[in-house]
Each structure stands twice: as C-alpha cells, then as structure tokens.
C-alpha cells in the first residue's frame, strides 16, 4: 500500500467530491469541506489573519485517506484557548513560539473530531508525520483544540499534555415545552427567568426564527451588520467578513444555520446565529444595535432552548465561558485541549503549568455545581 502525505496550503487542493466520497461518514457543520472552504475563500482565514492553512492529508492510490485541519499560526487570536503566557516564557529564552502548529476550526470553540479518516489506524500515521515535520522545521509546539473526548484521551499516549477547560451546555431532559424546562429551577430562579422574558415582551420585542429552509440572502446582510457592530463597539475588527456568511448561505443545506432575529415594530434589531449538528445546536455569533436589558439572554439562550425543545435536539452549546449561563440552566462540562511540546525543558514547564491550572479549574467547577439554581434531582 502506497501512502502519500501532503501538507496543503488550501482545502481547495482537495476536490470536494473526493473529500465527500471518502470521508463523509462524520457529520459536523464545522468539520465539513464547505465550512472550512468558506473560511478560506472569504479571506477570513489566511496568512494575513494569522491562520495560514497547512492541512494534513494522506492519499492511498491518489484517493483521500485521512484529513486533519492544520494551521501555521503567527498569533493566538481567535482560538479561545489562551497561551500568551507560554509564548512570553519561550520568547524570553531567545526561542520562537511562533509559528506554531494548530489543529482547530478557526474562531469555533466547538468539540469535533480533528482527524477524519477511513480507518482509525491512520490517526497514528497522521500524528507521527506531523511530529516529524516539527523536528524538520524546528516548530516548538503543536496544539489540538476541542477534540472529541475519545481522541483527546488517545493523544496522551503520544506525548501530548492535557490542558483542562470547561464550557456550559444545556441538556434537553425530554421537555415537552418551555415551562417544563422552567420546572427544574428553584422557585426564585424560575421567577427571575419569567421576569427577564416578560420585560422583553413588554417592550414590544418579538422574535422570528430563520433556518436553512427559510433564510434569505438579505437576512445574512442584516445579521452581518449586527455581528460587525459587536466588534466595532469593542474597537476591534470582526474575525469573519460578509463574504463568509454569503458562502454559508450557499451551502445552507449542509451547514444548517439557524438565526434568531429580534424585531421591534417590524424591524430587525438583533440576531443570534447558531448551527445545527447531529444532536447539538451550537450558538456561535450574536450582535445588536441597541443595548437593551435582557435582550442578549433572550436572543442567545432562551430562543435556542425553545428551539431545541420544539425540534427534539439533545444539547445546546452556546460557546465557552460565561458563569451567567449557570443561572439559565446551562451546566458545566469539561472540554480540553492537547499540546505537544517538542523540547523537554519547555515540555516540563508546560506540564507543570497545566497541572497547577487543572487544580484551580477543578475547584471552580465544584463551586459551579454548588452555585447552580437547578433542583438537585435535575442536576448532571
């Protein structure tokens, strides 16, 4: 069997039909050809934004055998795993932290497989070849962010260091309607949520849901203005441009976007963008023109929860961080990243850092469980 390995500067170097024919057994909106290609074609991902595509692909008799999204990063922006202290430490020794290797979905802190392949044995091959590249190019670090749990644990046997993280996820406990979900809370928190929703309703704000069957190009134009404004208010440039969202629209049947729009007097004033996976609704981006109390909670959380209940979706993952999610029924869950450090001195330092950090995270998650306003019989 002749295996050819390639590091590719664009996913477009792989014909889409070859990708789908050989590796289409895994369903994720983010680990899809269409999503990764949209990031590149729109210019949201390239060397100038700090994300130089360097995807690993192996071929058997010119047929795609395995694929891993890989990027040469010259910064740490858009990753949601913060390693600035690591870069400062290595740079102080007159060694270069950048470029680093990163296996992740740009700007998307969602758990997915990070190597898709016909045979699990090909994962070993992918890992070994990438390590050889690090030796050859003297690349100090390789980071795999938000892998699925089984693959993450597998990486430990290959010398990767586990870094603990956390997120807050809503679990649909076979609710028939929104009020069933409210019943899991203590009476005080149930009243708080009802009050938040009532205030939005009393302002005359209503909501409409646009999914892959009903969304239009003009919807994307309006949503992008909200999304862009969120960054403008922080005096930042948005990670994604309007061309990216237009490409998402082109592939809406595959990527399954869902937008919750808030309207006032028949005019859209805010929007929250999600993507629907196999059993999870993923909250990704939001924006508005007006700073209205409780609008973010309604648009980004309650509308998504209601959608999951109506469509029998098991989980709602609104993104990493945010203790305020606990009070709204999102429960803490670990999500980890894995890091291969080329040289022993820096590897030992990072291993110590991650161990000390893990103890703090463990204490934090325990405190989250005690803080939750969910009745004990409904907790994870």
Q: Which parts of the chain register pLDDT below 70?
A: 1, 23-25, 375-380
Q: Are 49 and 75 found together in one domain?
A: yes
Tell me the CA end-to-end span of the chain in Å, nearest whole number.
47
- 233 domain residue, yes or no: yes
Q: Are 246 and 313 found together in one domain?
A: yes
- 84 domain residue, yes or no: yes
CA angle 341, 32, 333 (to 5 degrees): 60
Q: Are 195 and 306 found together in one domain?
A: yes
344-379 in b/e form (b: 16+ CB < 10 A) is eebbeebeebbeeebeebeeeeeebeeebbbeeeee
- 104 domain residue, yes or no: yes
Distance between CA atoms of 282 and 240, rounded to whole angstroms? 17
Name the pairing type of β-strands 166-171 and 63-68. Answer: unpaired
Handedness of CA 198, 298, 169, 174 (dihedral sign): positive
- 221 domain residue, yes or no: yes
Which domain range does residue 129 map to?
Answer: 3-165+335-342
- How is residue 300 written in tokens? 């980004």
Backbone dihedral angles phi then psi of residue 185, each to the nearest 5 degrees = -90, 160
Distance between CA atoms of 271 and 258, rounded to whole angstroms? 10
DSSP-derived 3-state class of residue 170: strand
Question: pLDDT tens digits, residue range 214-246?
Answer: 999 999 999 999 999 999 999 999 999 999 999
Distance between CA atoms of 194 and 198, rounded to whole angstroms? 6
Q: Are 264 and 306 found together in one domain?
A: yes
Q: Angle, nearest 10°, between helix axes 217-233 and 242-250?
A: 150
- 258 domain residue, yes or no: yes
Q: Are 284 and 144 found together in one domain?
A: no
Q: Are 243 and 152 found together in one domain?
A: no
Residues in the chain: 380
Distance between CA atoms of 326 and 330, rounded to whole angstroms? 5
- Amino acid 374: pLDDT: 74
R_g of the chain, CA atoms, integer Å: 22
Could you say which DSSP state residue 264 is in?
Answer: E
- 126 domain residue, yes or no: yes
Q: Are 189 and 260 found together in one domain?
A: yes
- 237 domain residue, yes or no: yes
Q: Are 26 and 112 found together in one domain?
A: yes
Q: Are 180 and 285 found together in one domain?
A: yes
Q: Are 155 and 282 found together in one domain?
A: no
CB 181 within 8 A of CB 329: yes
Q: Are 7 and 155 found together in one domain?
A: yes
Q: Are 316 and 194 found together in one domain?
A: yes
Domain count, the chain: 2
The total of other beta-carbon atoms located within 10 Å of residue 89's CB is 16
Which CATH number is 95's domain given? 3.40.630.30
- 16 domain residue, yes or no: yes
Following DSSP, what letter does each residue of 304-336 receive, concatenated? Answer: HHHHHHHHT-SEEE--B--GGGGGGT-EEEE--
Distance between CA atoms of 260 and 276, rounded to whole angstroms? 13
Cis peptide leading into residue 99 (ω within 30°): yes
CB 93 within 8 A of CB 140: no
Handedness of CA 251, 330, 201, 229 (dihedral sign): negative
Q: Which of 331, 354, 370 is the last residue of a domain?
A: 331
């Amino acid at each position: 069997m002749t295996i050819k390995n390639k590091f590719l500067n664009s996913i477009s170097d792989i014909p889409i039909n070859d990708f789908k024919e050989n590796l289409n057994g895994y369903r994720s909106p983010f680990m899809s050809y269409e999503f990764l290609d949209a990031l590149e074609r729109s210019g949201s991902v390239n060397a100038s934004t700090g994300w130089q595509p360097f995807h690993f692909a192996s071929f058997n008799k010119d047929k795609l055998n395995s694929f891993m999204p890989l990027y040469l990063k010259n910064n740490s922006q858009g990753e949601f795993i913060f390693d600035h202290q690591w870069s400062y430490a290595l740079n102080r020794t007159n060694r270069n932290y950048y470029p680093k290797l990163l296996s992740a979905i740009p700007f998307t802190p969602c758990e997915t497989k990070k190597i898709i392949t016909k045979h699990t044995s090909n994962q070993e091959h992918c890992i070994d070849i990438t390590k050889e590249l690090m030796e050859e190019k003297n690349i100090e670090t390789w980071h795999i962010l938000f892998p699925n749990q089984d693959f993450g644990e597998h990486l430990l046997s290959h010398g990767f260091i586990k870094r603990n993280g956390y997120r807050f996820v809503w679990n649909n406990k076979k609710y028939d309607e929104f009020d069933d979900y409210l019943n899991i809370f203590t009476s005080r928190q149930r009243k708080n949520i009802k009050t938040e929703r009532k205030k939005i309703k009393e302002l005359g704000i209503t909501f409409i849901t646009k999914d892959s069957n009903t969304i239009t190009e003009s919807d994307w134009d309006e949503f992008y203005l909200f999304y862009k404004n969120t960054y403008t208010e922080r005096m930042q440039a948005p990670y994604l441009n309007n061309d990216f969202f237009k490409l998402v629209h082109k592939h809406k049947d595959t990527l399954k976007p869902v937008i919750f729009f808030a309207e006032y007097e028949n005019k859209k004033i805010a929007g929250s963008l999600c993507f629907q996976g196999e059993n999870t609704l993923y909250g990704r981006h939001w924006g508005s023109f007006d700073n209205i109390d409780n609008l973010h909670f309604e648009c980004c959380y309650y509308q998504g929860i209601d959608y999951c209940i109506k469509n029998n979706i098991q989980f709602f993952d609104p993104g990493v961080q945010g203790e305020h999610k606990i009070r709204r029924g999102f429960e803490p869950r670990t999500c980890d990243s894995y890091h291969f450090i080329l040289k022993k001195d820096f590897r030992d330092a990072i291993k110590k850092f991650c161990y000390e950090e893990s103890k703090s995270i463990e204490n934090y998650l325990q405190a989250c469980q005690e803080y939750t306003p969910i009745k004990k019989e409904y907790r994870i």
